[in-house]
Amino acid sequence: MKQTINILLLGTLILSGCCSSANRRLDAALEFAGDNRSELEQVLEHYKDSGEKYNAARFLIENMPRYFSYEGERLDSVKAVKAEIIKKGFLTDEQKNKWKGFSPKELIRVYDAKVIKAAFLIDNIDLAFSVWKGKPWGRSVSFNDFCEFILPYRLADEPLENWRRTYYDRFSALLDSLYQGNDPVVATDSLYGALKKITWKYNLSFNLPALGATFLLNNPIGGCKEVSDFTVYVMRALGFPVAIDAYLYSPVNRYAHYWNVLQDTTGINIPFWLLDTKVQRGGTDGRKKGKVYRLCYGLQKEKLKGLFASEETPASLRNGYVKDVTHEYFGKNTSEIEVDSRLCGEFVYPAVFRKEGWYPVDVAEHHNGKATIRNIEPDVTFIPLSSKDRRVRAVGYPFQLTASGVRSFRPDQQKTERVTLRRKYALRRKIEASLKSVKGTCIEGSSTPTFQRAELLHTITSVPYPYMDNNVVSLCSAAPYRYIRYSSAPDEPIDMAELSFYTASAPDEKIEMKVYSASDIHLDKDRAKVAKMIDGEHLTYYTSAMKGANVIFDLGRPQSIKKMVYTPHTDGNFIYQGDEYELYYQNGAHGWVSLGRKTAVEAQLVYENVPVNALLWLTNLSRGRDEQVFYIEDGEQVFVLNDK
């Protein structure tokens, strides 16, 4: 997902060296076009007396050397396979194995400047101007913003195609039927209500370039980047000023993420995302971001002098076609932190935690042992890195910007504490809600599947803590029963990972059973979903579509039930008995220091002699991949947590 942000294409360094002269940039682009130069010159000649349209054409052409498409029969084949997911709902193992190693590096790059036609560019420019000038909110969009938010003929490395007219014809009548006013926010939200009805298949199969406007229109499939791309195609075709914002790496969940922004008539950019949020002023998706960048068509001003030319700087931070817009989300702020100048290269790189090593998400200057870091999200943990002699390392201690200032996690080696650990990763609110849904669940037994005569065997009256596996409930049925009915509370869905029953004669051998019926069962595939409750896998689960749902299990024959064991839908990040763990604290330039390995004998780990004010990291050496740094406050683990 990070490919679009990280890519550094031909032209970035060349153009950054000649930003002082627009003519030199234009000459460089025309020269790069080679045999296709005449097509670009036709566009300039066509608009030579058109004022803004001429400047728009120059903007597109001057930045064009960066952009290309991929071509190749293998790309067409793997896109066709991905499209099958829409029709079938799945891929065969053979298809997965054949294409899982596919890489765009196998394909041919075709640069726009060398193949683009004058008619294509002229049509794109004319259509973009038509919707810009034709919408009431267009009056508030400046020419410079028009060039970035409406004009571009492409987004990334998708196929070069005339999408603007196709999308306009598909969606303009729909917009007109929904809204006739002059507020772009209300108009976008109205249109989004209709677009949400499109059944989007969220799928990240295969490492592919950007899929392109035509493919996404016919095959609504992909991840957050594809959803955001599709939104841009729709909105720009209709004259809405929209762009794509992203974070390079989440400070919480290990991934990059993309979403859209709409420019309001006041110049404020409003974030939204088709699959998750409502389009509204003041809205938020609740995700921690750390740093936010806007994907741009045009070359942006160098953030720090010498940045583009620095070979020590990570490629993602030398990308001249993204713009730091963190201040739009969290306001302007400055954090001054101590760094070891002896270890620093030219720049300092604030980074967020990653299990494989800290991930740099920003660049900052440093002088006399101090680094000045601007515009970061408060209450997110960063560490200052730097690169010197091709070696990247920490040059200071982890820190957070808080309401009271900068908090530095400098461990106190002389003052230690005893800590109790119950998780290795933040408990997300969605998971917490799923865990709490078990309260009020009823378990009944009956001799017949109709449950005309049933015995209540147990009601779960509280949420199990610490939400661990294998919550054991003693049962004592009055008679042997063949059928068990599991019913959620009237205001909750069933959200269960694993359920099993035992008899007194075989207390360690769970009763074999199958799903007889359930509230949600309509097709065989629905039955398979329900069966996840009894598949023996604690990280698979069944969530009912309705509240007050029930599942009836067939035990095969009447049996006396003496014990139930259940595991709510969880994330596998609690402490598990028998698993081996290792705890570290971060010690600045000295890196991570181990506080020892332990095998869990209960649902918690206790460590003595943990330095006070340390940033900690607990890793499970037995299984799992979700891990996150935390600190201890009032005896409890404190993680950075998304607001949703």
In the chain, what is the greatest distance between 2 CA atoms, to the nearest angstrom? 93
Q: Minimal CA–CA distance to 577: which of 605, 540, 617?
A: 605
How many helices and strands, by DSSP H and E, does the chain display? 17, 34
pLDDT of residue 22: 67
Confidence band of 17 (pLDDT split at 50, 70, 90): very low
| Stretch among 188-202, 536-550, 593-607 having the lowest mean pLDDT | 188-202
Neighbours of 162 (CB within 10 A): 15
pLDDT of residue 16: 42
Strand partners, 499: 566
Contact assessment for residue 581 and residue 598, using Cβ atoms and an 8 Å cutoff: yes
What is the per-residue pLDDT for 13? 38
Q: Give the contacts of 305 (CB within 8 A, at least 6 positions apart).
A: none
Query: 618-635: per-residue pLDDT in tens?
Result: 999 998 889 999 999 999
Cβ within 8 Å of residue 145, ≥6 positions away = 241, 263
**Rounded Cα distance, 566 and 549, in Å:** 17
Sign of the CA dihedral running 574, 575, 578, 580: positive
Cis preceding-peptide flag for 466 (omega within 30 of 0): yes
CA 235/CA 229 separation, integer angstroms: 10
| Percent helix, strand and coil across the chain, each to the nearest 5 | 30, 30, 40
Partners of 109 in the β-ladder: 70
Q: What does the pLDDT look like over 421-458, one tens digit per residue?
A: 999 998 888 888 888 899 999 999 999 999 999 999 99
Q: What's the mean per-residue pLDDT of the chain? A: 90
Identify the pLDDT of residue 466.
Answer: 59
**3-state DSSP of 501-523:** EECCCCCCCCCCCEEEEECCCCC
Three-state DSSP class for 373?
strand
Q: What residue type is 327 in one-letter code?
A: H
Asked if residue 214 has pLDDT above 50, the reply is yes
Q: Which of 424, 429, 431 is nearest to 539 (CA)?
A: 431
Q: What is the DSSP string of 449-469?
A: TT-SSEEEEEE--S--SS--S
Residue with tokens 């066709």: 80
- Coil vs helix vs strand at 590: helix
Q: What percent of the chain has pLDDT over 90?
A: 72
* Residue 376, pLDDT score: 97
3-state SS, 343-356, equals HCCCCEEEEECCCC
pLDDT score of 350 more than 50? yes
Determine the pLDDT at residue 580: 97
Give the rounded distance of the alpha carbon of 432 from its chain centre: 20
Closest C-alpha among 617, 613, 614, 582 to residue 599: 582
The pTM assigned to this predicted structure is 0.87
Could you tell me whether strands 201-202 and 221-222 are parallel, antiparallel, or unpaired per DSSP bridges?
Answer: parallel
